[in-house]
A and B are shown apart, each in its own frame.
Chain A
Amino acid sequence: MNNSLIGFAVAATLGVTNATACDYCLISQGISPLLVQNGAGLKVAQRYTRLDNVYEGTDKVDNPGVKEEYWATELSGFYGFSERFLVLVNVPLRKTRGDGELIEGPDGKPESEHMTGGAAGLGDLSVLGRYTLFSHHTLDTSTLLAGVFGLKFPTGSTNQHSDQGEYLDAHLQLGTGSTDLLLGVSANHVLGRYSFSTNLLDSITGEGETGDTRHRFGNSLNYDVTGKYRVTPTVVGKSPNELFLSLGVNGEYRRREKLDGDTVPDSGGNTIYLTPGIQYLAGTHWIVETTWQYAVYHDLNETQLGENYRLVASATYLF
């Protein structure tokens, strides 16, 4: 395929979504991000992401019948080597499903091109380290500021085909095909029954092979501010079980992607979610929680399929 054909393909294909293979996003968003945990534990999280709204910038426009769905089962293990240094490994198992592909019609309006298919299997494994840069504790409060660094490895397949025999869009593949550098900061403050956490995680992407093209997802910034309140017990004393409610604002800003070196105009942007959640500490070992990340704001470049919501449920075992 020569450059002019690639350019045409880029210009004609609007179906680039903002839901990329960001399997590690979960660890920087939510009511108990693993980045603020200590000790050692295992976590299993199930996430469902649905995209069936089309956006031009911040405006929602008619969807010609395109839909994408993502399921991810994430297995995470973390171990605190000291009070300051913790390592986390995240192994995602993904399933993707696409129905239709967003293209630009003759009148410039988005249309759906027939495409069905998806993939299932191992996603991109990531390894992160957290180092506490600052900590301050009092009888009533605990404040931590930590730096985060890591790598995401291209362990997920990137040559899956649609039902029609074509290579799936890069977003529907199981991995990105690239090794990405992850850098972030994490802050957490606990005050009695209240706790507040904020996380920033920057992903500096590399280039990967997707099907028969070179694809580079845009660098992304995941951000999260979450408050949590212990509903019960009001005073610890009767049992080890505790119930928390949380509310967070989080999102993802992503730069434009590149396909065979050319920038994809219909890619990248910003999506903000409002995230209520509920968390239950069962005994001293188990944490179960669920969050609903409802997309409240989209600012997507050109015309794209945008996320509606993410449903996340997880169980953590603390050793």
Chain B
Amino acid sequence: MACFALLAGLWLIALPAFGQDASYFESQHMQRLDEAAPDFLLSDPYGSTLNLSELRGHTVILHFWATWCEPCRVELPTLEGLAHQMAERGVILLAVAIDTEADAARVQRYAHDLGVSFPVYLAREGAISDRYWSWGVPVTYLIDPGGRLIARSLGPRNWASASMQTLITQIAVPVTPKSQESISR
């Protein structure tokens, strides 16, 4: 019995590590990363600002898109359900439009028309490195509570799928919820 308990304990300790193994992300068509996420400043249409460093302790889904990006148009609404479900686990979704011509109001309206209720940010109104989206859009990063980039997803995907919810659940560390509303307004 003690042996079983020991094995179970080891399994629980090893689970988070296993969950972030390169092969695990590859099985989800993601690239494993392991480096500090460059800090950034985002500004929403209401004048609130947000630093990545303020989000320490939370798992962050950092998603880049553009209004001219056709696959983004399909992908963005799939983040809607995920954002609500994961908010209670302390997972924060930051959707950043990289448009250089559309203004913040137009970007917000565009997202709203797609049924998106979470706040969207405009990259050029903040201070964020274009290194994040030099791969093109859509591109999505997973950032762990310690502020490290742990995975990158190139291209569109269905974030509402069960496999994505499982993945986010596994990498999310339960913390006091910080809702999308509270970080943006």
Contact = CB atoms under 8 A, between A and B. Distances in A.
Chains A and B belong together in one complex:
yes
Interface of A: 39, 80, 82-84, 135, 137-140, 142, 192-193, 235-240, 242, 283-284
Interface in B38-64: 38
B29 A83 contact: yes
B33 A236 contact: no
Given A142-B31, A239-B68, A240-B68, 18 more contacts: A82-B27, A83-B29, A135-B26, A135-B31, A137-B31, A137-B32, A137-B33, A138-B35, A139-B35, A139-B37, A139-B131, A139-B132, A140-B134, A192-B131, A236-B135, A237-B99, A238-B101, A284-B69
A238 B38 contact: no
B99 to A, nearest CB: 7
A240 B136 contact: yes
Contacts of A82: 26-27, 29
A94 B37 CA distance: 51
Contact of B100 (A80, A83, A238): A238
Contacts of B71: 284
B32 to A, nearest CB: 6
Interface residues of B, number: 33
B133 interface: yes
A236 B68 contact: no
B70 A283 contact: yes
Given A236-B137, A239-B68, A137 B26 contact: no
Contacts of A135: 22, 26, 31-32
Nearest to A142: B31
B98 interface: yes
The 3 closest A-B pairs by CB, nearest first: A83-B26, A137-B31, A237-B100
11 contacts: A139-B33, A140-B134, A236-B98, A236-B130, A236-B133, A236-B135, A236-B136, A236-B137, A237-B99, A240-B68, A240-B69
A39 B68 CA distance: 22
A284 B130 CA distance: 19
B152 interface: yes
A32 to B, nearest CB: 14
B149 A83 contact: no
A39 B29 CA distance: 9
A240 B123 CA distance: 16
A192 B137 CA distance: 14
B66 interface: yes
Contacts of B124: 237
Contacts of B32: 135, 137
Given A82-B26, A137-B32, A235 B70 contact: no
Most B C-beta atoms less than 10 A away, residue of A80, A137, A142: A137
Interface in B60-80: 66, 68-71
Contacts of B133: 236-237
A140 B134 CA distance: 8
A237 B27 CA distance: 29
A201 B70 CA distance: 36
B134 A39 contact: no
A283 B73 CA distance: 13
B98 A137 contact: no
Contact of A237 (B22, B26, B66, B135): B66
A192 B99 CA distance: 19
Contacts of B134: 140, 192-193, 235-236
B119 interface: no
B29 to A, nearest CB: 5
A235 B129 CA distance: 11
B30 interface: yes
Nearest to A235: B130
A83 to B, nearest CB: 4
A264 B152 CA distance: 53
